[in-house]
């Protein structure tokens, strides 16, 4: 089958089912598997399932898994097909939720948090490459935003679902998340398009990438380092660091989730009107300021507003970075390769940062503000990288 047929073999009226499947995948594997853990941190500590130090490192296990999954995603798809790999990874995440209802040991928890991260990394590499070739060119931007909107919905959902579930106890909370994940996995099961990825993975030679692509890899890596502290520690900062309690922390997390819902759509709008490069610069500048202010904010209003701004960043930069890849690399097959490498770059720094921030948090006696200031510096450095090699990076395709 010629590659061109993969773009148009789905009629326009039939593209939304694959897009919905992609949304479910990002919702389950990133939105819930990673971000539902954040509002659970205070409860895990207070229930004495694990120590504060262990809980933080268990959160970092998911980030390490994400790196492994980003590396294994393409080889896994080559053996299983994209569709089967995505289905399997969603089942793995679902199984991890159910397994975490039983605090057998730190090792048990670490293994399942690691597996859920592996599934998330593999899905992030594969989901856009599986769905977007079946979407007409005029709708790719909208489709990309809709797919990664699942991350934001998962973040917002975790902030609204977890608190009432915690009223039933920690085991019920994990089982409830597992049930939701199972439902979403079932709803997406037949939505994945038939596989066309084998040709795209193996047919294109590994040609040199434009220098600006490697610049983007570096920026994307420091963006990853910058988003970790708020992603992992925001609720704990409000609940324990400021002494506001778990309920206020959950409300701030809902505001973070609101920002995460707004992020993919608003960042995609910026990319359409300003171009991906200028949009990345603007977003990084705003995020660096917001993270710096978070380290000095103590009032609920300030924390809530900053949470919306900062929450837009993790899911919003995904379609923005993908749009930048498409600007720089005109060929679809090489776009897949570049996106896979960008995800690995992101995952590597995210994993390293996860453990580094965890170690620093413990060594500093739980100083949340210090972590937020360092993350602001990482985002600022990502912005400065964009000015190191000025010049035209127009797509010539």
> Mean pLDDT for each 10-residue chunk of the chain (397 residues)?
38 72 92 84 84 81 87 88 93 95 90 94 88 72 79 82 87 94 94 63 57 90 92 85 83 87 83 85 95 90 93 88 85 80 87 84 86 94 84 41
C-alpha distance from residue 381 to each of 223, 225, 330, 344 (Å): 9, 10, 28, 19
Neighbouring residues of 369: CB distance < 8 A, sequence distance ≥ 6 = 295, 296
What span, in angstroms and rounded, lies between the C-alpha atoms of 340 and 123? 11
Q: What phi-psi label fits residue 389: left (phi over 0), alpha (psi between -120 and 50 degrees) or beta?
A: beta
Closest-CA residue to 195 (of 146, 147, 127, 130): 130
Question: What is residue 275's predicted lDDT score, i.e. its pLDDT?
Answer: 83
Question: What is residue 196's predicted lDDT score, i.e. its pLDDT?
Answer: 56
What span, in angstroms and rounded, lies between the C-alpha atoms of 109 and 216? 34
Phi, psi of 326 (to 5 degrees): -70, -30
Q: Which residues of 177-199 are buried (b: 16+ CB within 10 A; e: fewer)?
A: bbebbbebbeebeebbbebbbee
Q: What angle do CA 207, 209, 212 make, to 5 degrees?
A: 175
Neighbouring residues of 39: CB distance < 8 A, sequence distance ≥ 6 = 158, 159, 162, 163, 235, 246, 249, 250, 253
Question: What is the third-level CATH fold of 12-385?
Answer: Growth Hormone; Chain: A; (1.20.1250)
pTM higher than the cut 0.85: no
Q: What angle do CA 103, 108, 113 make, to 5 degrees?
A: 95
Full DSSP string of 272-297: HHH-HHHHHHHHHHHHHHHHHHHTT-
Neighbouring residues of 365: CB distance < 8 A, sequence distance ≥ 6 = none
What is residue 330's three-state secondary structure? coil
What span, in angstroms and rounded, lies between the C-alpha atoms of 329 and 200? 15
Closest-CA residue to 287 (of 228, 328, 339, 235): 228
What span, in angstroms and rounded, lies between the C-alpha atoms of 151 and 315? 6
Question: What is residue 392's predicted lDDT score, i.e. its pLDDT?
Answer: 42
Q: Are 268 and 320 in contact (CB under 8 A)?
A: yes
């Amino acid at each position: 089958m010629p590659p061109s047929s993969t773009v148009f073999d789905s009629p326009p009226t039939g593209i939304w089912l694959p897009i919905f499947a992609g949304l479910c995948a990002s919702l389950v594997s990133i939105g819930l598997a990673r971000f539902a853990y954040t509002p659970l941190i205070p409860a895990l500590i207070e229930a004495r399932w694990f120590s504060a130090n262990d809980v933080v490192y268990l959160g970092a296990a998911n980030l390490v898994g994400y790196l492994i999954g980003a590396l294994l995603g393409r080889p896994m798809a080559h053996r299983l097909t994209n569709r089967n790999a995505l289905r399997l990874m969603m089942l793995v995440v679902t199984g991890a939720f159910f397994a975490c209802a039983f605090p057998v040991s730190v090792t048990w928890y670490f293994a399942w948090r690691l597996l859920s991260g592996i599934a998330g990394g593999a899905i992030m590499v594969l989901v856009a490459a599986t769905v977007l070739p079946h979407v007409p060119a005029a709708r790719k931007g909208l489709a990309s935003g809709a797919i990664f909107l699942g991350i934001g919905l998962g973040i917002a959902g975790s902030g609204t679902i977890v608190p009432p579930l915690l009223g039933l106890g920690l085991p019920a909370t994990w089982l409830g998340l597992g049930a939701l994940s199972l439902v979403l996995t079932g709803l997406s099961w037949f939505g994945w398009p038939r596989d066309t990825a084998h040709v795209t993975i193996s047919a294109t030679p590994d040609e040199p990438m434009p220098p600006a692509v490697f610049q983007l890899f570096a920026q994307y890596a420091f963006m990853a380092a910058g988003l970790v502290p708020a992603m992992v520690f925001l609720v704990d900062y409000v609940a324990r660091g400021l002494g506001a309690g778990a309920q206020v922390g959950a409300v701030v997390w809902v505001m973070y989730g609101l920002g995460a819902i707004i992020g993919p759509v608003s960042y995609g709008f910026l990319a359409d009107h300003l171009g991906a490069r200028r949009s990345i610069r603007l977003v990084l500048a705003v995020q660096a300021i917001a993270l710096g202010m978070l380290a000095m904010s103590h009032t609920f209003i300030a924390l809530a507003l900053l949470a919306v701004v900062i929450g837009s960043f993790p899911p919003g930069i995904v379609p923005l970075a993908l749009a930048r890849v498409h600007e720089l690399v005109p060929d679809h097959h090489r776009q897949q390769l570049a996106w896979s490498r960008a995800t690995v770059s992101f995952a590597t720094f995210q994993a390293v940062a996860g453990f580094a921030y965890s170690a620093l948090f413990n060594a500093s006696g739980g100083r949340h503000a210090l972590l937020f200031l360092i993350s602001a510096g990482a985002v600022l450095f990502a912005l400065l990288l964009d000015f190191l090699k000025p010049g035209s990076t127009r797509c010539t395709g």
